[in-house]
């Protein structure tokens, strides 16, 4: 017998090896959608990539045009259980009311007055709705981009649970901002995010006042929302005028330093929320959760951001808005965000030529209401998009959504589904640092997370299925598909949309046929064959091929 | 050929016996050529920028009190800090009042404090600073991790040399195919719904993931190897079920604050006692980015840190003579508090080193002072000790690494050693508190009885 010796130390290459490229509809359905549902591949093949991209870039605002998804949202019930202070129990299968009834700020904010166990409910409803849309909505690209922007403008929705619960109770409003601007204009997006309850509390600007200002929001505005760490030059320059380009006319500094962060933090002093704070002894803000600008808390002296002078005593909010103008128009922002979009839609190591073309389009469209749409279109119709495959790992949310879509599962999201992906690292809306869930595979590829992927898929067909998905796999097998080989090929095609590697295919076939001929129908009791098909489909989901996109 | 699970178990035990040579009762370093005794290094990363000025507070410095009317450790009255001996300056330094367990470790000489320490790169970005620090470089945040270079430079081998006790692998270990993550030892196996099919699926996975060399394939194979190792080494009851892990010496991991850190350290303890050849382990403890209302969060975080470290050290008392723990954070926080009763990103910070051959009970480094002209950029605690000086000393003194320059290229180890740790000579430090008798050695015995031929 052979001993299995420890593998030799070798450094893992940063970029995954590229695989042979599958047809473009497979690429598109995996990267601008959450994987193909039965029939999708044929549909996209027939209409062509350009028509599909244009369809997806123009989602209808009418819920009736997305009837399956709308019905699912209306029919969804999510359990809530807790004990009231008087000892009585709440145990309801409750609809996703904050979503389906479009609750407004006043309604959501009032949840804060209810039992503390209700305070996280709006987050759960957005989570459930997000899963339903990812699995059933026609407008897949919009969902992919909403997920992208949620992570770009990351907020930990549970940050103030137990201490105000303003973020958690109004979470549907933050989600709505992501949806409103997902294909829109970045400058407008920035300002809506800055004035949101979620961001004002999460990055502390709601409490920032003159002397000294709170720098948290301003710092992440530069580093994470706008220009990116690659344009943070603090290790090179201490003074704004030393940054190359700073003293040009008009000023065009190539990057930002801490002085810009300090000054921008001053620009945002006084941007806050109505939370019942005292302004002066006899003057209080109401507690409504509405955005407020409090002149008294604003640092009105002159400032200099990105080498640009701001005069003193400017009109309300002008300082903050000028910071947005400067950041949104900066070429560094264009490159940083376009690189992120390419990393999401194309490859963990996106081709630089594509990033540059996207950044140029981004700047050219900086005042257009559909700026983001124009750039996403350029990326999806680029030769690089269709020529790249396997340079990304499906994140747990994609992986599960893709599996549930490909198998036509009947899905009713519940907390077991939420915790299943959390255990694979995908803490949905609760990623604590402001970076957002990582995009690159290096985070997701770990032994603990891989094991969770495998066990979750195996578990779907066992006694601890989690109760969020039911499957009728055998009923989906067409009449002519009878032999073990045909069954394996049918499900490989369904899940991967392309042939598997020879080893994978042979192993799947060995599993299905159980030492019987491959070209004969599988043998065994009916229950055993059902179990084997379930376990076969789980195993395809566990294969290396299924983790790539 | 394909090994069945049973064949693997048998093979594995033979391999372990062979690799361990005559030292089967000792910790197994599975490289047969490598008989060097090395400490196990555990790196605790406090993510978010821990406020070192409130963790080990210069309460006697007038500038500290002036800059922090609200966010400070008082030196008298209720909530006063805990005085410590052997400070680095003629200033009253106090541990945060919720850090009583650290004081016990300090007084028993198992814990050393380095102040005004950190990453000298000027960045105030968390993510940049963590990347630089985990790379162990001041000028390249995209390099492989410093722990990876350590493992490579000692040609580490063995079944499980490096483990992250989290779901993911931190950047300090990223880039090594040897780095595993294990966040639940007792359930680290394929959990299918039929033993026969699950075993077949596991074999199928091995073939599929061995068929190519992409990172996905590599991690899949590592996962399968780790499943085999864990399940061959875990202590089992008479019915062959994995035994729940019981900490030793009455150690109680925290249950209110710091539970994530406690759970992670518990996993490290369990793996060390399973003799899987662990050499470096990493754990994270997040939540230190206290820009607002700091007093409400900071004490809880400190208590969690103190209790978890204390529990881990007690639990590991039999291993104290070959264990070193280093606690780092990406940067400290601004001296002056902001109007949100919080502190913004700063520079210099505190660092802890814990272990049986740590010259503890003492503060290290040199105190730069807190007057405006003594501060970095006139606002932040200056750095007088590069964090790598501490790590380098641990690597050379305790981890027998003769090539520290390979781990920290372009960094000059100071000519004058800090003497935070000493070589294994004479007795290790006494335990932090009297230990209960060690339990039966069932948890720590080398795997052998499991082999059934």
DSSP string computed for A324-393:
HHHHHH-HHHHHHHHHHHHHHHT-SS--HHHHHHHHHHHHHTTT-TTHHHHHHHHHHTSHHHHH--SSSB
E strand map for B154-209: 162-164, 179-181
Measure A248 CA to nearest chain B CA, in Å. Answer: 25
**3-class SS of residue B282:** strand
Give yes or no for A212 touching B (CB within 8 A): yes
Which pLDDT band holds residue B124 (cuts at 50, 70, 90)?
very high
Residues of A with Cβ-Cβ distance to B201 under 8 angstroms: 458, 511, 535, 538-539, 542
Those of residues 291-330 in A touching chain B at CB distance below 8 A are none
Contact B208 A544 (CB under 8 A): yes
ipTM value:
0.93
Q: At B225, list the tokens.
A: 């190897």
Positions of chain A with pLDDT under 70 = 1-19
Residue in B with minimal Cα distance to A455: B191
DSSP string computed for B432-452:
SSPPPPP--GGGTSPS-TT--
Residues linked to residue B113 through DSSP beta bridges, in sequence order: B352, B363
Give yes or no for B252 touching A (CB within 8 A): no
Which of A6, A269, A425 to mutate to probe the B interface, most B CBs <10 Å? A6
Helix A447-459 to helix A415-423 angle, to the nearest 10 degrees?
150
Those of residues 216-235 in A touching chain B at CB distance below 8 A are 216, 219, 223, 229, 232, 234-235
Give yes or no for A204 touching B (CB within 8 A): yes
Mean pLDDT of B390-417: 95
pLDDT digits over B135-185, tens only?
999 999 889 999 999 999 999 888 899 999 999 999 999 888 889 999 999
Which pLDDT band holds residue B28 (cuts at 50, 70, 90)?
very low
Which of B157, B204, B377 to mutate to probe the A interface, most A CBs <10 Å? B204
Contact A458 B3 (CB under 8 A): no
Residue of B14, B158, B167 lying closest to A6 (CB–CB): B158
Give yes or no for A510 touching B (CB within 8 A): yes
- Specify whether the CB–CB gap between A226 and A327 falls below 8 A: yes
Give yes or no for B155 touching A (CB within 8 A): yes
Residues of B with Cβ-Cβ distance to A16 under 8 angstroms: 214-216
**C-alpha–C-alpha distance, residues B272 and B160, integer Å:** 10
Residues of B with Cβ-Cβ distance to A544 under 8 angstroms: 208-209, 211-212, 214, 216-217, 220
Contact B190 A461 (CB under 8 A): no
Average pLDDT, chain B: 88
Residue B441 pLDDT: 40
Residue of B152, B214, B339 lying closest to A208 (CB–CB): B339
**C-alpha–C-alpha distance, residues A238 and A229, integer Å:** 16
Residue B34 pLDDT: 58
Residue in A with minimal Cα distance to B213: A17
Asked if residue B14 has pLDDT above 60, the reply is: no
Residue B35 pLDDT: 61
Residues of A with Cβ-Cβ distance to B123 under 8 angstroms: 232, 234-235
Contact B213 A17 (CB under 8 A): yes
Contact B339 A532 (CB under 8 A): no
Residue of B158, B180, B296 lying closest to A447 (CB–CB): B180
Residue B449 pLDDT: 30
- Specify whether the CB–CB gap between A190 and A226 falls below 8 A: yes
Residue of B177, B182, B193 lying closest to A12 (CB–CB): B177
Alpha-carbon A181 to chain mean position: 14
Contact A12 B124 (CB under 8 A): no
Those of residues 420-459 in A touching chain B at CB distance below 8 A are 423-425, 432-433, 435, 441-452, 454-455, 458-459
Give yes or no for A498 touching B (CB within 8 A): no
Give yes or no for B218 touching A (CB within 8 A): yes
Tell me which H or E stretch contains B41: strand B40-47
Measure B155 CA to nearest chain A CA, in Å. Answer: 8
Contact B340 A17 (CB under 8 A): no
Question: Closest by alpha carbon to A109, among A178, A173, A159, A157?
Answer: A173
**C-alpha–C-alpha distance, residues B341 and B336, integer Å:** 10
Give yes or no for B368 touching A (CB within 8 A): no
Contact B207 A390 (CB under 8 A): no
- Specify whether the CB–CB gap between B390 and B353 falls below 8 A: yes
Measure A425 CA to nearest chain B CA, in Å. Answer: 7
Which of B187, B329, B344 to mutate to probe the A interface, most A CBs <10 Å? B344
Residues of B with Cβ-Cβ distance to A461 under 8 angstroms: 193
Residue B444 pLDDT: 36
**C-alpha–C-alpha distance, residues B196 and A538, integer Å:** 15
Asked if residue B439 has pLDDT above 60, the reply is: no
Residue A19 pLDDT: 53
**3-class SS of residue B231:** helix
Give the contacts of A269 (CB within 8 A, at least 6 positions apart).
A208, A209, A210, A213, A297, A298, A299
B40-179+251-443 CATH: 3.40.720.10
Distances (CA, A) of B61 to B4, B94, B95, B371, B399: 66, 11, 14, 9, 37
User: Which residue did the predictor score with more confidence, B239 or B438?
Assistant: B239
Residue A6 pLDDT: 38
Which pLDDT band holds residue B425 (cuts at 50, 70, 90)?
confident
Residue of A238, A435, A532 lying closest to B127 (CB–CB): A435
Contact B177 A452 (CB under 8 A): no
Residue of B122, B208, B213 lying closest to A543 (CB–CB): B208
Give yes or no for B226 touching A (CB within 8 A): yes
Contact B338 A208 (CB under 8 A): yes
Those of residues 47-76 in A touching chain B at CB distance below 8 A are none
Residue in A with minimal Cα distance to B180: A447
Phi, psi at residue B158, to the nearest 5°? 115, 170
Give yes or no for B347 touching A (CB within 8 A): no
Contact B340 A6 (CB under 8 A): no
A519 burial type by CB count under 10 A (0-12 exposed, 13-18 middle, 19+ buried): exposed
Residue B33 pLDDT: 54
Give yes or no for A463 touching B (CB within 8 A): yes
**C-alpha–C-alpha distance, residues A409 and A467, integer Å:** 12
Tell me which H or E stretch contains B224: helix B215-233
Contact B201 A458 (CB under 8 A): yes
Q: How many residues does chain A have?
A: 549
Give yes or no for B156 touching A (CB within 8 A): yes
- Specify whether the CB–CB gap between A56 and A142 falls below 8 A: yes
Contact A216 B48 (CB under 8 A): no
Residue of B148, B193, B293 lying closest to A463 (CB–CB): B193
Question: Closest by alpha carbon to B380, among B337, B341, B342?
Answer: B337
Give the contacts of B20 (CB within 8 A, at least 6 positions apart).
B26, B28, B30, B446
Those of residues 330-359 in A touching chain B at CB distance below 8 A are none
Residue A462 pLDDT: 82
**3-class SS of residue A484:** helix
């Amino acid at each position: 017998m052979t001993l299995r010796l420890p593998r030799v130390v070798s450094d893992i290459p940063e970029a995954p090896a590229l695989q042979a490229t599958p047809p473009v509809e497979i690429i598109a359905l995996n990267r601008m959608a959450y994987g193909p549902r039965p029939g999708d591949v044929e549909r996209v093949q027939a209409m062509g990539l350009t028509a599909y991209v244009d369809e997806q870039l123009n989602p209808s605002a009418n819920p009736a045009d997305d009837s399956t998804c709308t019905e699912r949202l209306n029919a969804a019930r999510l359990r809530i259980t807790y004990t009231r202070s008087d000892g009585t129990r709440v145990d309801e299968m409750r609809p996703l009311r904050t979503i389906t009834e479009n609750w407004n700020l006043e309604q959501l904010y009032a949840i804060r007055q209810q039992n503390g166990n209700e305070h996280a409910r709006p987050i759960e409803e957005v989570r459930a709705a997000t899963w339903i849309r990812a699995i059933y909505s026609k407008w897949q690209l919009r969902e992919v981009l909403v997920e992208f922007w949620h992570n770009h403008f990351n907020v930990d929705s549970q940050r103030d649970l137990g201490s105000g619960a303003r973020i958690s109770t109004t979470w549907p409003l933050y989600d709505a901002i992501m949806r409103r601007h997902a294909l829109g204009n970045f400058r407008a997006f920035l300002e809506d995010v800055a004035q949101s309850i979620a961001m004002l509390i999460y990055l502390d600007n709601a409490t920032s006042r003159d002397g000294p200002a709170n720098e948290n929001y301003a710092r992440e505005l530069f580093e994470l929302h706008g220009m990116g760490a690659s344009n943070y030059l603090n290790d090179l320059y201490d003074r704004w005028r030393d940054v190359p380009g700073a003293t040009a006319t008009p000023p065009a500094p190539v990057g930002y330093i801490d002085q810009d962060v300090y000054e921008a933090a001053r620009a945002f002093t006084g941007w806050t929320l109505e939370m019942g704070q005292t302004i002066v002894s006899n003057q209080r803000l109401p507690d409504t959760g509405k955005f407020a600008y409090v002149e008294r808390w604003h640092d009105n002296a002159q400032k200099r951001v990105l080498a640009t002078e701001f005069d003193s005593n400017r009109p309300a909010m002008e300082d903050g808005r000028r910071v947005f103008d400067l950041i949104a128009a900066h070429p560094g922002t264009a490159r940083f965000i376009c690189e992120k979009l390419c990393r999401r839609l194309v490859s963990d190591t996106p081709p630089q030529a594509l990033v540059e073309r996207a950044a140029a389009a981004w700047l050219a469209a900086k005042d257009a209401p559909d700026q983001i749409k124009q750039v996403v279109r350029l990326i999806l119709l680029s030769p690089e998009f269709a020529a790249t495959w396997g340079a990304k790992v499906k994140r747990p949310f994609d992986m599960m959504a893709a599996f549930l879509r490909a198998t036509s599962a009947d899905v009713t999201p519940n907390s077991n589904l939420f915790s299943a992906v959390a255990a694979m690292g995908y803490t949905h809306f609760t990623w604590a640092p402001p970076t957002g869930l990582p995009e690159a595979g290096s985070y997701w590829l770990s032994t603990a997370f891989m094991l969770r992927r495998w066990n979750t898929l195996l578990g779907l067909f066992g006694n601890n299925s989690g109760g969020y998905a039911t499957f009728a796999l055998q009923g989906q097998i067409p009449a002519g598909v009878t032999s073990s080989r045909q069954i394996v090929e049918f499900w490989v095609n369904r899940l991967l949309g392309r042939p598997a590697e020879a080893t994978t295919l042979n192993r799947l076939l060995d599993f299905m046929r159980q030492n019987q001929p491959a070209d004969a129908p599988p043998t065994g009791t009916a229950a055993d064959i059902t179990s084997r098909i379930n376990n076969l489909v789980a195993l395809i989901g566990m294969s290396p091929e299924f983790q790539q996109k | 050929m394909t090994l069945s699970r049973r064949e693997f178990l048998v093979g594995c035990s033979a391999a372990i016996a062979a690799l361990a040579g005559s030292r089967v009762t000792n910790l197994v370093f599975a490289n047969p050529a490598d008989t060097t005794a090395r400490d196990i290094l555990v790196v605790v990363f406090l993510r978010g920028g821990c406020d070192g000025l409130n963790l080990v507070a210069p309460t006697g410095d007038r500038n500290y009190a002036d800059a922090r009317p609200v966010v400070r450790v008082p030196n008298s009255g209720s909530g006063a800090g805990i005085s410590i001996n052997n400070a680095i300056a003629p200033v009253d330094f106090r541990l945060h009042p919720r850090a009583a367990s650290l004081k016990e470790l300090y007084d028993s000489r198992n814990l050393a404090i380095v102040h005004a320490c950190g990453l000298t790169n000027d960045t105030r970005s968390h993510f940049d600073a963590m990347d630089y620090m985990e790379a162990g470089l001041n000028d390249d945040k995209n390099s492989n991790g410093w722990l990876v270079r350590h493992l490579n430079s000692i040609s580490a081998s063995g079944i499980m040399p490096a483990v992250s006790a989290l779901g993911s692998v931190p950047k300090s270990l990223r880039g090594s195919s040897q780095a595993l993550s294990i966040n639940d030892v007792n359930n680290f196996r394929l959990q299918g719904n039929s033993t026969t099919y699950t075993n077949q699926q596991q074999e199928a996975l091995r073939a599929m993931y061995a068929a190519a060399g992409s990172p996905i394939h590599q991690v899949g194979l590592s996962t399968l190897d780790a499943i085999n190792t864990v399940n061959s080494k875990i202590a089992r009851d008479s019915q062959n079920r994995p035994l729940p892990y019981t900490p030793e010496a009455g150690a109680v991991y925290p249950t209110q604050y710091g539970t994530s850190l406690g759970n992670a350290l518990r996993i490290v303890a369990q793996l060390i006692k399973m003799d899987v050849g662990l050499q470096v382990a990493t754990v994270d403890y997040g939540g230190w980015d206290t820009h607002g209302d700091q007093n409400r969060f900071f004490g809880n975080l400190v208590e969690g840190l103190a209790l978890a470290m204390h529990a881990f050290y007690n639990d590991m008392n039999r291993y104290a003579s070959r264990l070193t723990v280093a606690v780092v954070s990406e940067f400290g926080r601004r001296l002056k508090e902001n109007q949100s009763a919080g502190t913004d990103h700063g520079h210099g910070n505190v660092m802890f080193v814990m272990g049986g051959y740590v010259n503890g009970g003492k503060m290290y480094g040199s105190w730069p002072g807190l007057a405006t002209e003594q501060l970095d950029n006139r606002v932040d605690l200056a750095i007088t000790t590069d964090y790598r000086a501490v790590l380098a000393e641990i690597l050379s003194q305790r981890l027998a690494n003769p090539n520290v320059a390979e781990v920290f290229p372009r960094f000059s180890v100071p000519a004058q050693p800090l003497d935070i740790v000493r070589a294994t000579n004479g007795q290790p430090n006494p335990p932090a508190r009297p230990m209960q008798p060690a339990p039966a050695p069932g948890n720590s015995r080398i795997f052998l009885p499991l082999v059934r031929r």
